[in-house]
Structure 1
């Protein structure tokens, strides 16, 4: 049977981490990456038997790649601390890695706002209903970006897993959702400034319309009632807010220069991983 690593990336998630860890106990190895964490997350993870990597990373892509590199399994299931692997999905993951010839598989995501399951309207920039999280070691690499980094793949994509889902407790309430919009748009503004191409006002106004339509109509957000309106608003506003922050407040959002040591993990945080099997 191939060895499975569960990879959890977190920052100050002591309240949600126990449930996430309990749900990946079926994996052969659990690796937890903690980015600039100041709460009890490290102690919680170690008590659950996880291997812990602590450090500070400016870029989300670099942080996730560090976690992937620390895993020793033949396959990796990547999970965020605010997600819980449902039992049906866990069982299917085991079945798939035993027989799949592919490089990666997509899994379904059930997104919750508070206690409300919102199935429709997620349109990528502000949330998604399916993610490529199960992959062979060496098949997946994140690009060096702060928010929604792109992916580079090796191998072929396999069928989507159909049983169970990642239960994603994405926002605690509407205020938390709006705070996330603020964080995401600030990080995207930094990426725009780092690229030297922030775009134009006209193009981003068009994106408000196209992304709002995609969320509310194409992705059937209208089926969620007022929640779908809220989700379409946040999805549409995200690129425009990022552009306006980059254009109007570049001094507040321009990223610091990255030094060679930036993003490195603390040397004593984790033993050297065993050689690949």
Structure 2
């Protein structure tokens, strides 16, 4: 039986270092759509070399930009990848089988993380993320941080498939990302009036470390897994530390 046609959608900005691997793994798709935000490196050239349809739109936020790209896709079924992500061997066949008369609104794909000089062990616990979906039944939600697709209908996890987040190739890159992400989350958390910031600063980081190292089985990845768990715990600490700092600064400006 013939499968549903598929559009692979990627949003980009100066991703020349990772886009080649990303698009090489999906050159079998019926369409590759790259929505760029004005890259100044070779991102657009790489996309066009892989036969991608390239569009350009200024970046406003991840949610709106991804939805814009989905709306531009030629086909109803969309596979969403970030520019630093790539499909693992064998995932193509699982996806193509899932798209033969699909009975679901979408499919989750398990994600394996790059842990600096290695990749998360296959026996580690992987998070299933909704990346393959019928765009007629799905849209990006309006969550300010970590916006994601939500679909109207049943969703299935394709455990025999997975993809690799290939972004954190060294500790410096990881720490730079942590600093950016935690800063971008402050305004969102202030609007939510999140409580017990001090307690979260003290108790959540060690819980986060144990969850990563033991529950997600990062211990299988040696020192890379330990360092990834430790930097993750620092991320958990820093987002609440920055929130506490913002509240202290606001209180000093307006003592009443």
TM-score, normalised to structure 1's length?
0.79
**Structure 1: gaps of 5 or more residues:** 253-277
Aligned residues: CA RMSD = 2.6
**Counterpart position of 2:128:** 130
Q: Does residue 1:248 correspond to 2:250, yes or no?
A: no
**Counterpart position of 2:35:** 33
Structure 1 stretch displaced more, 75-84 or 29-38:
29-38
- Indicate which of 92, 100, 103 corresponds to 1:101: 103
Q: How many residues align?
A: 246
Residue by residue over 1:121-140, the C-alpha shift from the partner in whole angstroms, topping out at 9 and shown as x without a partner, is 988xxxx6432211112333
Q: Does residue 1:16 correspond to 2:14, yes or no?
A: no
Shift of 1:76: 0.8
**Counterpart position of 2:152:** 154
Higher helix share: 2
Cα distance in 2 for residues equivalent to 1:143 and 1:108:
20
Residue by residue over 1:228-270, the C-alpha shift from the partner in whole angstroms, topping out at 9 and shown as x without a partner, is 2222222222233122223324799xxxxxxxxxxxxxxxxxx
Cα distance in 2 for residues equivalent to 1:98 and 1:61:
29
Q: Match of 1:225, SS?
A: helix
Q: Does residue 1:76 correspond to 2:78, yes or no?
A: yes
Q: Match of 2:103, SS?
A: coil
Higher relative contact order (CA 8 A, sep 6+): 1
Cα distance in 1 for residues equivalent to 2:78 and 2:159:
15
Cα distance in 1 for residues equivalent to 2:247 and 2:143:
17
**Counterpart position of 2:253:** none
**Counterpart position of 1:215:** 212
**Structure 2: gaps of 5 or more residues:** 250-256
**Counterpart position of 2:63:** 61
Question: Residues 150, 203 of structure 1: CA spacing in aligned structure 2 closer, same or farther, 3 A cutoff?
Answer: farther
Question: Residues 40, 48 of structure 1: CA spacing in aligned structure 2 closer, same or farther, 3 A cutoff?
Answer: same
Q: Match of 1:62, SS?
A: helix
Question: Residues 167, 196 of structure 1: CA spacing in aligned structure 2 closer, same or farther, 3 A cutoff?
Answer: closer
**Counterpart position of 1:110:** 112
